Amino acid sequence: MFKKILIANRGEIACRVIKTARRMGIKTVAVYSEADQRSLHVKLADEAVFIGPAPSKDSYLVMEKIIAACKDTGAEAVHPGYGFLSEKEEFARRIEEEGIKFIGPKHYSIAKMGDKIESKKLAAEAGVNTIPGYNDAISGPDEAVEIAKKIGYPVMIKASAGGGGKGLRVAWNDEEAHEGFASCVNEAKSSFGDDRVFIEKFVQEPRHIEIQILGDSHGNYVYLNERECSIQRRHQKVVEEAPSPFIDPATRKAMGEQAVALARAVQYESAGTVEFVVGADKSFYFLEMNTRLQVEHPVTEYITGLDLVEQMIRVAAGEELAITQKDIKINGWAMECRINAEDPFRGFLPSTGRLVKFRTPPESKTVRVDTGVYEGGEISMYYDSMIAKLIVHGANRIQAIERMRDALNGFVIRGISSNIPFQAALMQHPRFISGVFNTGFIAEEYANGFDSSMVPHEDPALLAAVAAFARLRYIERVMKISGQHPGFGRKARSEWVAVMGGKYYPLVSTRTKAGMSITHADKTYDIVSDWSFGDQLLTGTVNGQPICLQIERQGLCYRISHFGLQIAPIIMTPRAAHLLSLMPEKAPPDLSKYLISPMPGLLREVSVFEGQEVKAGEKLVVIEAMKMENILKAEHDVKVKKIVAQPGASLSVDEIIIEFE
C-alpha cells in the first residue's frame, strides 16, 4: 500500500480523498493555486505545494507542475479527483512513465472512453445500445447545421472532451445549432483544451441513469447498481439518488451487465461510471463513460456500504477486488443535493465572495456533508460553483426526502447566495416526490424561472408566530436593562400584528412556563426554544413537534428561512400596522434603459456598437463566469446609446454594461 499520495485537485473532492487516505494511514499532498492558498484542502493535507496563478490553465491543468510536486514530495501515487486532469489520457500516461501510480484507469482506457466520439463506436462494438448521431469531428457551424438537419431536431451539440455540463447545448432549430456550436467550441477549448464537437439526436422525455462499475488489474468487474440523475438544470445535475425510483431489477441487471461488458472491452481498472439515457419504456442507450470518480458517488457508497475512494486506491496499488457481484446489495435509499454558489431568484446566476457564515447540518450515520470550504473562506470566480454536497440516507425514498428537507433547513450560508431554497422547493414538489419525472422536469416545472412564490409552505402563520416569538424575546431582553426611568421602562404587550408577504396576521402572545404561546385566528402555537440573538438557527418544538428554521433580525424585519421559503415578517403593534396599511407603495426605479450585469464575471464580448438599432432577441454581450459562457440578449427593440464597459472588463453584480436611448 502507498505511504503517500498527491491529490491533483482542489476543493470538496480533494478534502474527500484526504479523509479516506487518512483513515487508511496514507499521508497526503495537496496542490494549490494563488486563489486557494487558504483553502480547506490545503489545511487538511499533510503537505501542500504551490503550483501557480489562479486560472486553472496556469495551475491545476499544468501537468509538469503536478509531476514536479510528486517528485519533490516523494508521492508514490496521484489521485486526480474529477474535472481538471482526471480524464486526460496524456496525464495518466505521463504519470505512469514517471514511475508514479495513477489512482484511476490506465491511459489507454481513458483514451478510448474519454473521447465521446470514439467511445460510442467502441460501445457499439461491445454490444452496448447507442443513440443515433454524427460521431465524427465537425469543421464549423455551417456543417453543424447541415448535420443537425439530417439527424432531425432537437439535437444535442456536445464537446468530445466535455463533462459537467460544459461544452453542451441543445438546439431546436438552425439558428440555435449555429450559435450553440460556436459556444460549445469556445467553452470546450477554455475548459478542456479540446475544441472538437459532435452531434447526436436529443431523446425527448428521457431519464439520465448511470451505472457505477469497479474493475481491477486481475480481470474482476462488478457493477454497484444505478444512480438516478434526471433532476438537471442546463444539463448540470442538481439532485442525485440511488437507487432509481424508475428502474426494476431486470432493467438494472441488463444495464449493469452492459456497463461491465464495456469496461471489460477497454480493460478498465478503477471506479468508473457508464451513463445511459433511458426511455419511458425502459429502453436504454449508452451516453458516455466517465473514467473517473463521479461527484455523486456518495449515494452509491450509502446504499452499498463501500468507500469508492478506498477501492480506487486499493486497485491502483495492485489489489484484487474483495467483492463479487453477489455481494452487492441495495441498503435503503440515498439522496444528494449539490449546494451551489448561485442565486435561484436571479436566474441561477453565479454568486461569488466571502462566506460570512457557513454552518452545515449536524453529520450522523444518515446525514453527510462533503465540502471544501469553511466560514470566512471565499468562493472564487475562477472555479466551479459547488459549495458542498449534502447527502442523506433513509430506509426508503420518502424517509430520505424528509431527512433532506430537515437537513436543508439547518444549512446556514451567508455572504453569498446559494441554491438551497430551490433544492428545498424540489424536495416538496409533488412530481418529484412521486418519482415520475425526466430530465425535462426543471425546465417544464420552472419554465419562467424560480421565485419565492414557487416555494410552498403549508402553514405561513407558523412563521409569523416564530417571528413574534423572536420579537418578544428581544423586548424581554430590553426590559431587563437597568437604569430605566420609573414609569417609562419598556413593557411587554400581548397583541401584535405580523406583516408578511403583503398580508396581516393578528397575533396574541402569552408567556408560558416553558416558552411562549402565540395565537393566530383559531390556532395556537406553543413555542419552546433556547434560541438567543446572534444564532441563525432556531431549534426547539412547536406544539411538541421538533422544528428547525433560520431566523435573524434585519432592521425592523425578522428574516426567516424554512423549507426553502425566505420571508421577512415585521412584528408591529396593531396601531402601527393600521398606519402602514394606509401608506402608498414606492415604485421601483426604471432600469429598462440599461443593460446591467446580472452576475460577477469577465466581459468576454460586446456584440453591438453605439448607435446600433437592436431587435428583440439579438445578442448584446457574452459574460464568462465560473467557466461558463452566458449570452445576454435584448428583451425588446432598443437603440444603443453608450457602451459603458469594454471587453475584458471584470464586472460586478448590477454594473452597467450598455445604456440605451
Query: How far is 9 from 39, CA to CA, in rounded Å?
Result: 12
Q: Which cell goes with 397?
A: 425514498
Of the candidates 627, 630, 647, the one whose C-alpha atom is nearest the C-alpha of residue 193 is 627
Phi then psi for residue 102, to 5 deg, are -100, 120
CA distances from 604 to 84, 395, 607, 627, 647 (A): 22, 49, 10, 12, 6
How far, rounded to the nearest angstrom, does the alpha carbon of residue 494 sit from its chain's CA centroid? 45
Please give the full DSSP string across 553-618, using - where no structure is assigned. EETTEEEEEETTEEE--EEE-HHHHHHHHTSPPPPPP--TTEEE-SSSEEEEEE---TT-EE-TT-
Q: Is the distance from CB of 91 to CB of 106 less than 8 angstroms?
A: no
Per the DSSP assignment, residues forming a β-bridge with 211 are 226, 274
288 assigned to active site: yes
Q: Quick one: CA dihedral 110, 112, 118, 120, positive or negative?
A: negative
Q: How much of the chain is in helix, strand and coil states, percent to nearest 5? A: 30, 35, 40
- Contact between 439 and 232 under an 8 Å Cβ cutoff? The reply is yes
User: Quick check: 169 and 182 in contact, CB under 8 A?
Assistant: no
**From 87, 200, 241, 288, the catalytic residue:** 288
153 closest CA partner among 91, 101, 117, 199: 199
Q: Is residue 542 classed exposed, middle or buried when 0-12, 13-18 and 19+ CB atoms within 10 A define those classes?
A: buried
Question: How many H-runs (helices) and E-runs (strands) does the chain carry?
Answer: 17, 40
Q: In this structure, which long-range contacts are made by residues 518-522, counting pairs with CB atoms below 8 Å and at least 24 apart in sequence? A: 518/465, 518/468, 518/469, 520/461, 520/464, 520/465, 521/461
Q: How far apart are CA 625 and CA 603, in angstroms?
A: 9
Do residues 425 and 454 make contact, with C-beta atoms less than 8 angstroms apart? yes
**Closest by CA position to 401, among listed 460, 332, 344:** 332
Where is 158: in which H helix or E strand? strand 155-163
CB neighbours (10 Å) of residue 486?
5
Say how far apart CA 17 and CA 11 lie, in whole Å: 10
Measure the CA–CA gap between 21 and 417, rounded to whole angstroms.
32
Cell of 502: 403583503
Which residues sit opposite 371 in a β-bridge? Answer: 388
439-442: long-range contacts, CB 8 A cutoff, minimum separation 24: 439/206, 439/207, 439/208, 439/230, 439/232, 440/204, 440/205, 441/230, 441/231, 442/231, 442/232, 442/233, 442/238
Say if residue 154 is preceded by a cis peptide, omega within 30 of 0: yes
Q: At what angle do helices 297-304 and 308-316 cross, to 10 degrees?
A: 90
56 C-beta neighbours (distance < 10 Å), count: 22
Catalytic residues: 288
